[in-house]
Structure 1
Amino acid sequence: MQTLDSTVKWFNKTEGRDKICKVLQYGSRFLMWHLKTNSGNEQLSNQFKNLFQSTRDARKLFRLAKSLNELQTIIDKLGQNCKNPQEQLAKALNILTRVWFLLYWFFDNLSVLSSIKFTTSDPKPLQKKAMTFWFIAIITNLVDTIRSLVVNFQYIQQNKSNQSAQQQVQNKQNQNKALYLNLIKIFGDLMPAGQGSEFFPKVLKINLNDGVIGLGGLISGAIAAYQAY
């Protein structure tokens, strides 16, 4: 019963529903590509294409006004006191990440409102701006995650023989496990963000197909769903 209660509460969370939709969205995108490219099953591929597009649009509607969440997080972070330069750097990177995500949600919201004809703007340039800020947010988050791993490793190495610090060492090791998952999730999200922002095709001259993008988003969504649970 306890597992059932936890599962129901998880599904009732907005984040939980969004991550399940993300798994469906990118899983469908991967299957759409796989069935069309490797199996030649055009009809089933089109069915997964419809599921991919529907879940993509549903997630966009879920995220309306989500920039307000980021604004509240930024305000809370600005009010935090930092004891040393290391904490100041962590705070700055965290705030920067949230600022980029705020702009991502903002333009993403404008894009979906344009797509459903609520506004008269062209959704394509708005979506490109959204994906660009998402890509920047991911890169900033990547830098912050690597910084956290380095700091934790330094602490573990310096205190592995210190008996009085063993509990803190264990805490750092547990934090690293979560950070490793975050790294995998970040690299997964880089696939759709890098393609959507046109960084990969225009800067790196790499044009990712739907299979790679779908697989990256699927892995990221699965990890995010696990973490939300």
Structure 2
Amino acid sequence: MSQPVRLRFKPNSNSLNLDDLKILSNYCSYSYIENWLICALNWRTEARDKICRAIQYGSKYLSNGEPGTAQNVDKATSLARKVFRLFKFVNDLHALISPTPQGTPFPIVALGKSKNALMSTFLFLDQFVWLQRTGIYKNKEGAELIGKVSLYCWMAGSTCTSLIEVAELGRLSASMKKIEKKLNNTDKYQNQEYLLKLKKANDSTLALVKAVMDLGVAAGLLQLAPNKLTPRVVGGLGFLSSLISCYQLLPSPPKTKTP
């Protein structure tokens, strides 16, 4: 009887173990190894981007727009994050052209595709801002205009995300009420289907809070309400949003086995 494959690689480790790749090559096809590497590297890039984002907006909160060390850290991490997001627009572009699950209401499908298109545009245009800041793209005025358009796309994409999560919460709430009626007087927290819906509702609530915060950050960066959305407010919203993003990247806790 063959022994199970035991890997020493962990998603939050700092280096890939070559021995693990050898083990994988013996038990898996090359396509499986390729997908595994892509997922691992993508997870690391995403995690580093969110950590840098927390540092960036935390520094913005501390600086409150005033010159100094905190503002320098804000600008430096902002530029560094753009490297992690190079060609990241392909992810949303792929989601845009991918088919949606059957049974999804059309309004949610339309909002989801709009969100993918807007976020893909935002990430694509943001690359020109990076090119200008690094000196490759010389047109400063053009880069500033592109930067504003990209931020508007991000704000619109965050709005779509908020609407999607609100609609999803409504669907989950209706499903949970139906389950409660079926259970009558039994403990609903012992029902696996109810717990699954509850977890999805909690995840959607967290995603909604994050989307609203991102909406405020985008509006603040565009200076749509400079008196209310000050650099400190924008920094605080961005920092909290980054913490939520880091939390969402954490692996799910292992399921407890029922006797």
TM-score when normalising by structure 2: 0.74
Q: Which one of the candidate residues 223, 226, 229 is aligned to 2:247?
A: 226
Q: Given the alignment of the two structures, is residue 80 of structure 1 paired with residue 100 of structure 2, yes or no?
A: yes
Cross-structure match for 2:20: none
Q: Which one of the candidate residues 70, 84, 88 is aligned to 2:92?
A: 70
Q: Given the alignment of the two structures, is residue 183 of structure 1 paired with residue 201 of structure 2, yes or no?
A: no
**Alignment gaps of 5+ in structure 2:** 1-6, 15-39, 251-259
Structure 1 pair 131/150, CA: closer, same or farther in 2 (3 Å)?
Answer: same
Cross-structure match for 2:160: 140
Cross-structure match for 1:127: 147
CA distance in 1 between partners of 2:71 and 2:10 (Å): 33
Q: Which one of the candidate residues 180, 184, 208 is aligned to 1:160?
A: 180
Q: Given the alignment of the two structures, is residue 210 of structure 1 paired with residue 204 of structure 2, yes or no?
A: no
Cross-structure match for 1:94: 112
CA distance in 2 between partners of 1:196 and 1:218 (Å): 14
**Alignment gaps of 5+ in structure 1:** 37-44
Cross-structure match for 1:39: none
Percent identity for Structure 1 against Structure 2? 23
* Residues 129 and 197 in structure 1, CA contact (< 8 A), matched pair in contact too: no
Cross-structure match for 1:19: 50
Cross-structure match for 2:71: 49
Q: Which one of the candidate residues 222, 225, 231 is aligned to 1:197?
A: 222
1:124-166 alpha-carbon deviations (Å, 9 max, x no partner) = 1111111100000001110001000011111111221324994
Q: Given the alignment of the two structures, is residue 29 of structure 1 paired with residue 50 of structure 2, yes or no?
A: no
TM-score when normalising by structure 1: 0.83
Amino acid at match of 1:187: V
Q: When the two structures are aligned, how many residues end up with a matched partner?
A: 211
**SS of the residue 1:65 aligns to:** coil
* Residues 23 and 222 in structure 1, CA contact (< 8 A), matched pair in contact too: yes
The Cα shift of 1:63 comes to: 0.9
* Residues 82 and 88 in structure 1, CA contact (< 8 A), matched pair in contact too: no
Amino acid at match of 1:50: N
Instruction: Say which structure, 1 or 2, has more relative contact order (CA 8 Å, 6+ apart).
Output: 1
CA distance in 1 between partners of 2:131 and 2:115 (Å): 24
The structure with the larger Rg is 2
**SS of the residue 2:136 aligns to:** coil
CA distance in 1 between partners of 2:219 and 2:236 (Å): 14
CA distance in 1 between partners of 2:231 and 2:225 (Å): 14
CA distance in 2 between partners of 1:200 and 1:157 (Å): 40
CA distance in 1 between partners of 2:132 and 2:11 (Å): 37
1:13-45 alpha-carbon deviations (Å, 9 max, x no partner) = 1100000001100011111129x6xxxxxxxx7
Cross-structure match for 2:12: 7
Structure 1 pair 90/168, CA: closer, same or farther in 2 (3 Å)?
Answer: farther
The Cα shift of 1:6 comes to: 4.6
* Residues 11 and 44 in structure 2, CA contact (< 8 A), matched pair in contact too: no
- What RMSD over aligned residues (CA atoms) do the two structures have, in Å? 2.6
Cross-structure match for 2:171: 151
CA distance in 2 between partners of 1:158 and 1:127 (Å): 47
CA distance in 2 between partners of 1:55 and 1:185 (Å): 21
Q: Given the alignment of the two structures, is residue 109 of structure 1 paired with residue 127 of structure 2, yes or no?
A: yes
* Residues 190 and 216 in structure 1, CA contact (< 8 A), matched pair in contact too: no
